[in-house]
């Protein structure tokens, strides 16, 4: 079964097609949710909510090649996570002026594995982690992040800089940083 056929099956509420897509993308989506909300049970619940929304709204989805389904699913999952964090009150950020851009040292990501960097990201505070995920991993701009989180653009930049600083410090503390 191809991805496109599975999507067509999902539009007919075919349970086998739904199971196929769930098996294919549930792991990736659960990882994404954990990256945002840190707690595994919450992330699992959000992932199920996301898939449920996806199956309910699949009639509006237009398949446009490989990757379009993953992008659609990611968008749904990110929305679910942000809604959860908003309800939790984790996205209340004080308005801050935009600080100067503090780039992460390029050597930080070289000697660290994906699992380790994943764990370091989840240790970040909620606000920093959300902005870092949206900017560094998902690739949104500060303007989009500001609209999504209902914050000022400067606050988004400030949060990102703080997240970078903490992450760099955590990498150094864990001994993965080797100065060249």
Partner 1 sequence: MNSNTAEEKIRMKVEPMSTLQAGIVYGHEEAWDKLQARLDAKPARKVLPWYKVMAAAAALLLLCGTGYLLLRDNDTVTQQPDNGTLPTTESPLSQTPATDHRVATLQDTYTHITVRTAPIHHHHQPQPVQQVDEPTPVVLPEVTYSPEPKVQPTPAPKMKVVHINELGQQEENTAHYAWEEKNPFPHIQFRMKVVHINDIGRPLRQEDYMRTIERTTVWRLPFGHKNSMYNANEQPGSLFRINLSTNRNNEKATFNTGTDMGTDSTEPVVY
Output DSSP code: residue 106: T
Out of 75, 86, 92, 119, name the contact with partner 1 by CB under 8 A.
Answer: 119
Nearest distance from residue 51's CB to partner 1, in Å?
6
Q: Residue 86 phi/psi, 5° resolution?
A: -65, -45
- For residue 14, the tally of other CB atoms under 10 A from its CB is 14
Rg (CA), the chain: 18
Determine, following the binding rule CB under 8 A, whether residue 22 of this chain makes contact with partner 1. Answer: yes
Out of 67, 89, 103, 175, name the contact with partner 1 by CB under 8 A.
Answer: 103
Q: Residue 165 phi/psi, 5° resolution?
A: -60, -45
- For residue 100, the tally of other CB atoms under 10 A from its CB is 6
Determine, following the binding rule CB under 8 A, whether residue 113 of this chain makes contact with partner 1. Answer: yes
| Contact footprint for partner 1 (CB under 8 A) | 13, 15, 18-19, 22-23, 26-28, 30-31, 34-35, 40, 44, 47-48, 51-52, 55, 103-110, 113-115, 117-119, 121, 135-137, 139, 141
């Amino acid at each position: 079964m191809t991805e496109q056929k599975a999507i067509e099956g999902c539009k007919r509420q075919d349970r086998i097609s739904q199971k196929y897509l769930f098996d294919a993308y549930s792991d990736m989506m659960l990882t994404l949710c954990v990256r945002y909300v840190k707690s595994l049970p919450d992330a699992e619940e959000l992932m199920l909510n996301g898939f449920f929304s996806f199956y309910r709204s699949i009639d509006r989805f237009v398949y446009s090649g490989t990757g379009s389904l993953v992008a659609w699913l990611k968008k749904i999952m990110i929305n679910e996570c942000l809604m959860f964090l908003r309800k939790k009150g984790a996205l209340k950020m004080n308005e801050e002026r935009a600080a100067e851009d503090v780039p992460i040292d390029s050597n930080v990501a070289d000697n660290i594995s994906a699992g380790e960097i994943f764990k370091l990201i989840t240790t970040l505070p909620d606000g920093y982690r959300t902005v870092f995920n949206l900017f560094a991993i998902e690739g949104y701009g500060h303007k989009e992040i500001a609209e999504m989180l209902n914050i000022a653009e400067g606050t988004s930049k400030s949060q990102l800089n703080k997240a970078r600083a903490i992450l760099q410090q955590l990498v150094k503390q864990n001994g993965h940083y080797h100065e060249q």
